[in-house]
Amino acid sequence: MTGEHRTARGTGASTRVLGTSPDDMAAAARLLRAGRLVAFPTETVYGIGADATDAAAIASLYAAKGRPRFNPLIAHVLDIDAARRIGLLDATALMLAERFWPGPLTLVVEARPDTVVSDLARAGLPSVAIRVPSHPLARALLAQAGRPVAAPSANRSGHVSATTAAHVLADLDGLVDAVVNGGPAQLGVESSIVGLLGERPVLLRPGAITCEQLDSALGFAVSGPAARKNDRPDAPGQLASHYAPWAAVRLDAVEVHPGEALLAFGPDLPAGAAHATAVRNLSPAGDLREAAATLFSALRELDAARPRTVAVMPIPAEGIGLAIRDRLARAAAPRR
């Protein structure tokens, strides 16, 4: 797709598909600095980048995604020093940052009073979500942009996240100015989000850093969002319906009903699998990392076959399996 121009559905606008050459990366950074929207790969999923300090750019980002403005964005920066210029990192935050950055961990901390991250990007909250990605293209873009970059997952709001440039175009062609095509995102599920606003760290979103990893760094078990007392989500991505394909999703299926497609996991398929209208196996070997990496493309592929329902085999609730189960539970939740 490198260098090609694509035209959006009927809008006349076009999303430029950029490659990974120095010229293309410089062009991507120029667009960002000019307040435009540039989708790019991270080690988790593709993000739609916008200058986090530019309220107008952030407004256009919310509009492109169809995202409610009460749902704040993650500010992506290059390193701990850059993180400390926008948020207040206490001892726990610093410890987690040193342990897991660069990498798929997002920390929600109190914003610095003089933070350059726009109010709109933070949805008016006194806090800021910060992530230091490890993907070399994301890092090259951040280095050249020279400012924090807000980057939500590159899908229409509420839809399945994007792990390839083709997924980005399927959702957002004509709605973002460019996409950097850096091949498939490696991990396949989003960063883990840890809230550090109270006495104890709270896992706001399970993700690519496992609870086991967090617990061993902290020296105690991190509490999950279920332990929160209020209904108001701290991470609105925690709203029930999210990651939704068009088809209905039926979890922990031990048999396939007539007319259903099958999202399988592991070598042993359930009864009725031979009659499934379509089948994708997240990992025939039963490997959870592989399953995470294939989750969103498998959901998109099954959806393309337009089944009424996708039956999903049980996924073990351990390691990155918790993040997979979380995304599937949201895909299965009643739609807004």
Residues that bind ligand TXA (CB under 6 A): 42, 44-45, 47, 71-74, 104, 106, 108, 122, 125, 127-129, 131, 151-153, 190-191, 193, 204-205, 234-237
Q: 192 and 207 in contact (C-beta within 8 Å)?
A: yes
Q: Which is nearer to ligand TXA, 108 or 320 (CB)?
A: 108
Non-local CB neighbours of 149 within 8 Å, separated by 6+ positions: 32, 49, 50, 51, 52, 75, 76, 77, 141, 142
Please state, in angstroms and rounded to a whole number, the distance separating the CA atoms of residues 154 and 163: 8
Residue 300 interacting partner from ligand TXA, Mg ion, none (CB closer than 5 to 8 Å by kind): none
Residue 131 interacting partner from Mg ion, ligand TXA, none (CB closer than 5 to 8 Å by kind): ligand TXA
Residue 242 interacting partner from Mg ion, ligand TXA, none (CB closer than 5 to 8 Å by kind): none
Residue 235 interacting partner from ligand TXA, Mg ion, none (CB closer than 5 to 8 Å by kind): ligand TXA
Q: 36 and 49 in contact (C-beta within 8 Å)?
A: no
Q: How many CA atoms lie within 13 A of 225 on its CB side?
A: 21
Q: Which is nearer to Mg ion, 53 or 153 (CB)?
A: 153
Q: Which is nearer to ligand TXA, 45 or 302 (CB)?
A: 45
Query: Smallest distance from the beta carbon of 312 to ligand TXA, in angstroms?
Result: 21
Please state, in angstroms and rounded to a whole number, the distance separating the CA atoms of residues 263 and 250: 10
Structure tokens at 308: 């009424």
Query: Smallest distance from the beta carbon of 292 to ligand TXA, in angstroms?
Result: 12
Query: Smallest distance from the beta carbon of 129 to ligand TXA, in angstroms?
Result: 3
Q: Which is nearer to Mg ion, 281 or 294 (CB)?
A: 294
Residue 236 interacting partner from ligand TXA, Mg ion, none (CB closer than 5 to 8 Å by kind): ligand TXA
- Tell me whether residue 298 is exposed, middle or buried, using C-beta atoms within 10 angstroms of its C-beta: 0 to 12, 13 to 18, 19 or more: buried
Q: Which residues pair with 312 in a beta bridge?
A: 263
88-96 contacts, C-beta under 8 A, 24 or more apart? 88/112, 90/196, 92/196, 92/201, 92/218, 93/196, 95/217, 96/194, 96/201, 96/214, 96/217, 96/218
Query: Smallest distance from the beta carbon of 135 to ligand TXA, in angstroms?
Result: 9
Q: Which is nearer to ligand TXA, 73 or 211 (CB)?
A: 73
* Closest residue by beta carbon to ligand TXA: 237
Residue 128 interacting partner from Mg ion, ligand TXA, none (CB closer than 5 to 8 Å by kind): ligand TXA
Q: Which is nearer to Mg ion, 154 or 273 (CB)?
A: 154
Residues in contact with Mg ion by the rule CB under 5 A:
153
Please state, in angstroms and rounded to a whole number, the distance separating the CA atoms of residues 77 and 16: 24
Q: Which residues pair with 45 in a beta bridge?
A: none
Q: Which is nearer to Mg ion, 153 or 191 (CB)?
A: 153
Q: Which is nearer to Mg ion, 115 or 153 (CB)?
A: 153
The H or E element containing residue 213 is helix 211-218
Give the closest residue to 260 by CA, choosing from 276, 244, 239. Answer: 276
Structure tokens at 118: 């726009």
Query: Smallest distance from the beta carbon of 161 to Mg ion, in angstroms?
Result: 6
Q: How many CA atoms lie within 13 A of 238 on its CB side?
A: 19
Query: Smallest distance from the beta carbon of 264 to Mg ion, in angstroms?
Result: 25
* Closest residue by beta carbon to Mg ion: 153
Residue that is written with structure tokens 């806090």 in the block: 127
Structure tokens at 301: 């592929």
Query: Smallest distance from the beta carbon of 317 to ligand TXA, in angstroms?
Result: 21
Query: Smallest distance from the beta carbon of 309 to ligand TXA, in angstroms?
Result: 25
